[in-house]
Amino acid sequence: MKTNGIRIILIALLILGTGCQGTSQTGSSDLQRTPDIPVSKRGTVLEMVSPSEVLVEASGEYYGVGGSVRAKRNDVDSNGTDQALIDARRTAIYVILFEGSDPVLSTPQERAAFQQQSAYFYHPDSLRRYITYEDTLFTSRVLMEDGTAIRVAKRFRINKDRLLNDLSDRRVMVAREQLLSTAGTPILMVMPDARTGESPLAVLAGDTTARQAATVIQGYLTSKGYEIVVPEQTAELTNLIRSQQTMSSGQPDFAYQIALSIGSDIYLTFSGYAQEASFGTTRYVATVNAYETTTARLLGSETGYSKERKGDLMVSVEEALNDAVDKVLTRVMNYWKEDMQRGVQYKVIVSITPGLDSYDIDSIQLAFMDAVSDVALSSRELVLTNETIDYIIWVDSAIYDRALGVYQALKTAFERYGTGAVMGRSSMNRKLMQLTIDY
Amino acid sequence: MRKTLLLLALMCCLVSVPLFANVQGSYTRKSITALDSVWVFPQSRRLVHNEWAFDMDRFKMFLEHYIELPRFDYNEIPDSLKRSFSNKANSLYDIDIYNLTHLLETTVVQEIVSVLNDPDIQEARKRNFKDEASFQTFAATKAKSFGYTSDELATLFNSAYIYLPFISSAYVQRSEEGLDTVHINGGVIWWKIEVDEQGRTSAREVLTATTWAMSVIDYDRVVHQFSFGEVSWYVNPLEYAVSDAMVAFARNLSGKTRSLDDFKLQAQIVETSGRRLGFPIGRNEGVHLDDGFYIIGFREDSAGNAVPYEKGYARVTMTGWNDFDPTEITYARQIMGSRASLGDVMMENPRLGIDLGLTAGLLVGTRIDPIHTRYSGTDGIDATSTNQITLNARFAYNLAPIVNVSQLFVTMDVGVGFPLADSSVDASLNVLSPYLGVTKAFGGRIYAAATVGAGLDIVTIDYDEPLDEVSISHRAFGLKAEVEVGYLINPNLKVSLYGGYKLGLSPYSSKTELNGSHVAPPNSDDLQLGGVSAGIGVTYSLGSLPINIFGFLDPLKQY
């Protein structure tokens, strides 16, 4: 009899409890309980472990559900750690996608597309694929709000490449390969940032650290599928540089000239130094800059720091550069995304026969301008003198897949305007066309 | 009040420890330096060094065993430096902690830093300073570089300690009853070496713990060997007592050392299954079976700080043999508090492994007849006594770390029984019962225990005749079995109810003394000192004890 009584009371309590819980879930349905969206959104990228992996520390939160403080506490006691841990994993992904100065999803369109598919990316199965390592121990685990909520923090290693592949597969963002292809498979060049008047090639030849740094950056870029051109000290190159120098005034920018000469789309310069740190350790500080070759426009600049450690300088060099290169490349990618619509870029320098009268010069310049308008998707005039025209032009890569094609089109269009002048070429590579107009 | 103090201690501990710790509540191995000397206060030097059998080498051996715990690494410095420090310290008459600290800074601290700078030492201890994520970095994965970073070096240099035991007084005291007792008073001072980023060093006193120990000199002692673990040596009664007191003294210092927040073992819970908790420390740090650990959670205060709070208590059920396999973890069973979760921190509750129990009860079924108390026609008691009020003090030494059986104790108890009987001659009647036994306990916060023991019951009846003092005594062997159910009020204190049966054998010795002289023995027929007992008791888990009980077993702890 007594047992039956206890049973009835227990069942009644259970029903009441379930009722309360149901009310609170459907009634308040806290924002924090919204599935598949990280609640905490607090995390830090600790380190680029490799070109494809990053070490992240992320926190996760869980807010207890229930009709009373006690019920919420019980919920946190029972489910809090597990749920907060899932949130921390989501936050780790979130941090890579949205946080920092160079998030993976940089445009509003990408972010909007991601919102549509966030459930897939934040699903525990997906998280398991992206997270290649998770600390056994929590960095911290703290109850909040009188025990009705919990926050945990852990370190994760995320395979960023897998995440990026999924993002492109699901058309959230354009795949890097596609982007590169659309941009005409751009070529990158890596050069040390030499002191004024010093040739980067000489620095490369004489400085072991610089050679190591160049190798690290080149290795990083090749692992990402970029096409790299390695400048070499050749007579041809020297001549090209010399010819560039004649056009510039003041101190020559060797890196720019080499890049231009060998036809890279973007060139990266790097510099660095070892700094004494605490407890007799050394820290390496590396700076990487990325420039658009045709204009020498700075696309991105970033500094990377190694850990302060004893010895192992080359490890520190690579560690610092990994950190910097990744961020700079993200900016370069963003630049390409924006530039994709504009087409493939060329720098066109035209030398006009000296000694012409102003009428002839005008007609030549106007005809050249018209020819550029006919051929290029867009253009920018940099220099216009009686003897020199310096232009940046963007052409459709689908129509003009090589510099010679562009040249041919320009020549045809220019000569069609009947100025009587003849267009020729003195040198040409995939980014630079040095042309002549003879009258 | 006690709880507040505990929480304050926890806060200090958990705030101070994560010097390096990137994870909440992890123990970073400390390195220690022994100065191989005991600082004897000037007023005691004559006694210790000259007049009696104070074997300083034995004393250092005990200190080494109890203070240089597995949780520490050991920084060896040249003997010449130790001697230099020792000579300078002992040559000073007016010396205080500030002078000692200065002396350390000028003699040994730099040398310890040099030791820590030794590439071999750094290589050997590297793993202590690398957390799990350190092996996931670029440097570790691609570059295979496991060199120290500045953070790790800061931890290495700032986790070195020096200890110096001291004796403030040591003497033999004779009591009014003529008992000679050896007393040792003193303690231990711990300094922490601090190294800043520029390499400047200093020593900071972090603990001065005092304790005392004593041992009665038993001039009738037959055994002339003193044993400590597997070693033993020949001693005279005085030397035995001195060694005995030394063990108690050193053991107390061990407890005091382990109570220092920096030295408390702690680890995050990485595995839970119901109330079974796994955490990644073990034998390598000196964890033993049945060791107690507080379960610490953290909550955020209004200022956003993580504040530790005591969530529960757990007892080790399986020690991780991480000295052989670093991945082995220790398992404990939660016995108090709300359910622990992954990420909660286990924090050591340093105790001696000895419980002191006090019980009060009733023993029914004994039989002491007037004839058993009779001398020359006068009876000590007027009628047969069948009941006794009993008081009992019991020391229980936990054998678990030695035999790998949880909650198995060897017990030594002394009971005093007061038979309920009227006496027209105002006799003093009591039963003294020293027993040795074995107890096995089961359960958690609510527990049951069974004890079997054997010992002696000594009945003493003293009364005064008009002209004479009569003293009658009977001695009989006894066997007893008890069961006990109890409840842990807190991790160190439990209350219990017990019941048992004592089988009293026939007396093997009965005697009567008249004014101190033996006369014809009393009748002991049908004297029965056994019976059924019941009572209540409290048991306290000791943090220190001034006498040495079962100390010889301490070196045998392995599980």
- Under a CB-based contact definition with an 8 Å cutoff, are residues A429 and A262 in contact? yes
CATH architecture of B354-541: Beta Barrel (2.40)
Report which DSSP code applies to B47: I
What 3-state class would DSSP assign to B317? strand
What are the tokens at A119? 């459930």
* Residue range of the domain that includes A300: 181-340
Q: Are residues A60 and A108 in the same domain?
A: yes
- Is A50 within 8 Å of B141 when comparing Cβ atoms? yes
- Under a CB-based contact definition with an 8 Å cutoff, are residues B416 and B390 in contact? yes
Q: Are residues A76 and A92 in the same domain?
A: yes
List, for residues A353-396, the tens digit of each pLDDT value: 888 888 888 899 999 999 999 999 889 888 888 888 888 898 88
Mean pLDDT on A222-245: 63
Q: How far is A309 from chain B (nearest CA, A)?
A: 4
Provide, as residue numbers in chain B, all residues whose Cβ is less than 8 Å from the Cβ of A48: 138
State the total domains in chain A: 4
Q: Rounded to an integer, what distance in angstroms lies between the CA atom of residue B154 and that of residue B160?
A: 11
Q: What is the CATH number of the domain that holds A385?
A: 3.30.1360
Domain positions in chain B are: 2-18+28-117+159-263, 266-348, 354-541
List, for residues A289-327, the tens digit of each pLDDT value: 988 877 777 888 889 888 888 878 888 888 888 888 888
Cα→Cα distances A311→A275, A285, B136, B150, B222, Å: 12, 15, 20, 11, 65
Count of other CB atoms within 10 angstroms of residue B259? 18
List, for residues A34-46, the tens digit of each pLDDT value: 457 888 889 998 8
Q: How far is A57 from chain B (nearest CA, A)?
A: 10
- Under a CB-based contact definition with an 8 Å cutoff, are residues A50 and B142 in contact? yes
- Under a CB-based contact definition with an 8 Å cutoff, are residues B354 and B535 in contact? no
Q: Are residues A18 and A54 in the same domain?
A: no
Please give the ipTM for the structure prediction.
Answer: 0.75
Provide, as residue numbers in chain B, all residues whose Cβ is less than 8 Å from the Cβ of A92: none
Q: Rounded to an integer, what distance in angstroms lies between the CA atom of residue A264 and that of residue A49?
A: 28
What are the tokens at A30? 């806290």
A209 within domain boundaries: yes
Provide, as residue numbers in chain A, all residues whose Cβ is less than 8 Å from the Cβ of B338: 77
Q: Are residues A158 and A210 in the same domain?
A: no
pLDDT at B13: 46
Choose, out of B198, B295, B300, the residue to mutate when testing the contact with A (most A CBs < 10 Å). B300
List CB contacts of A241: < 8 A, sequence separation 6 or more.
A252, A254, A257, A258, A261
Q: What is the CATH number of the domain that holds A321?
A: 3.40.50
A173 within domain boundaries: no
Q: Rounded to an integer, what distance in angstroms lies between the CA atom of residue A29 and that of residue A354?
A: 79
- Is B133 within 8 Å of A143 when comparing Cβ atoms? no
Number of H helices, E strands in chain B: 11, 24
List CB contacts of B332: < 8 A, sequence separation 6 or more.
B276, B277, B278, B279, B293, B314, B315, B316, B317, B346
Q: Are residues A223 and A303 in the same domain?
A: yes
- Is B153 within 8 Å of A142 when comparing Cβ atoms? no
pLDDT at B50: 55
Provide, as residue numbers in chain B, all residues whose Cβ is less than 8 Å from the Cβ of A47: 137-138
Q: How far is A87 from chain B (nearest CA, A)?
A: 15
Q: Rounded to an integer, what distance in angstroms lies between the CA atom of residue A348 and that of residue A170?
A: 39
pLDDT at B113: 83
What 3-state class would DSSP assign to A243? helix
* pLDDT, averaged across chain A: 80
Provide, as residue numbers in chain B, all residues whose Cβ is less than 8 Å from the Cβ of A324: none
Using pLDDT thresholds of 50, 70 and 90, give the confidence band for residue A19: very low
A245 within domain boundaries: yes
Q: How far is A230 from chain B (nearest CA, A)?
A: 24
Provide, as residue numbers in chain B, all residues whose Cβ is less than 8 Å from the Cβ of A140: 23-24, 298, 306
Q: Rounded to an integer, what distance in angstroms lies between the CA atom of residue B418 and that of residue B41?
A: 46
pLDDT at B45: 63
Q: Are residues A45 and A66 in the same domain?
A: yes
Task: Write the class of the CATH domain B266-348.
Answer: mainly beta
Provide, as residue numbers in chain A, all residues whose Cβ is less than 8 Å from the Cβ of B155: none
List CB contacts of A75: < 8 A, sequence separation 6 or more.
A64, A65, A66
What are the tokens at A102? 């160079």
List CB contacts of B259: < 8 A, sequence separation 6 or more.
B209, B350, B543
A168 within domain boundaries: no
Q: How far is B559 from chain A (nearest CA, A)?
A: 25
Q: Rounded to an integer, what distance in angstroms lies between the CA atom of residue B301 and that of residue A64?
A: 18
Q: How far is A155 from chain B (nearest CA, A)?
A: 7
The residue among A340, A364, A390 that closes a domain is A340
Q: Rounded to an integer, what distance in angstroms lies between the CA atom of residue A18 and that of residue A3?
A: 22
Q: Are residues A336 and A203 in the same domain?
A: yes
Q: Which of A396, A423, A391 is nearest to A410 (CA)?
A: A423
pLDDT at B9: 52
Which of A133, A279, A315 comes nearest B154 by C-beta?
Answer: A279
- Is B197 within 8 Å of A280 when comparing Cβ atoms? no
Provide the residue type at B518 as one letter.
Answer: H
A249 within domain boundaries: yes
Q: Are residues A303 and A413 in the same domain?
A: no
List, for residues A77-127, the tens digit of each pLDDT value: 888 999 999 999 999 999 999 887 778 887 888 889 998 888 899 988 899
Which of A48, A140, A277 comes nearest B306 by C-beta?
Answer: A140
Q: Are residues A324 and A348 in the same domain?
A: no
A151 within domain boundaries: yes
Q: Are residues A334 and A353 in the same domain?
A: no
- Is A81 within 8 Å of B270 when comparing Cβ atoms? no
DSSP code string of B104-162: HHHHTHHHHHHHHH-HHHHHHHGGGG--GGGGGSHHHHTS---PPBHHHHHHHHTTEEE
Q: Which of B156, B135, B143 is nearest to B327 (CA)?
A: B135
Q: Are residues A304 and A219 in the same domain?
A: yes
Report which DSSP code applies to B298: E
Along chain B (559 residues), what's the average pLDDT of each consecutive run of 10 residues? 51 42 77 82 63 77 90 84 79 72 83 81 75 74 73 82 87 81 90 84 87 88 79 86 92 92 92 92 93 94 89 94 89 93 93 94 91 83 90 95 94 93 84 95 93 94 83 92 95 95 91 84 86 95 91 89
Host H or E run for residue A355: none
What 3-state class would DSSP assign to A271? strand
**Domain B2-18+28-117+159-263: assigned CATH number:** 3.40.50
Which of B24, B137, B306 comes nearest A47 by C-beta?
Answer: B137
Cα→Cα distances B193→B83, B101, B154, B388, Å: 20, 10, 11, 60
- Under a CB-based contact definition with an 8 Å cutoff, are residues B133 and A135 in contact? yes
- Under a CB-based contact definition with an 8 Å cutoff, are residues A351 and A438 in contact? no
**Residue that is written with structure tokens 């673990």 in the block:** B229
Q: Are residues A24 and A41 in the same domain?
A: no
Rg of the Cα atoms in chain B: 28
Q: In three state form, how does the secondary structure of B493-541 look?
A: EEEEEEEEEEEEEEEEEEEEEECCEEECCCCCCCCECCEEEEEEEEEEE
What 3-state class would DSSP assign to A375? helix
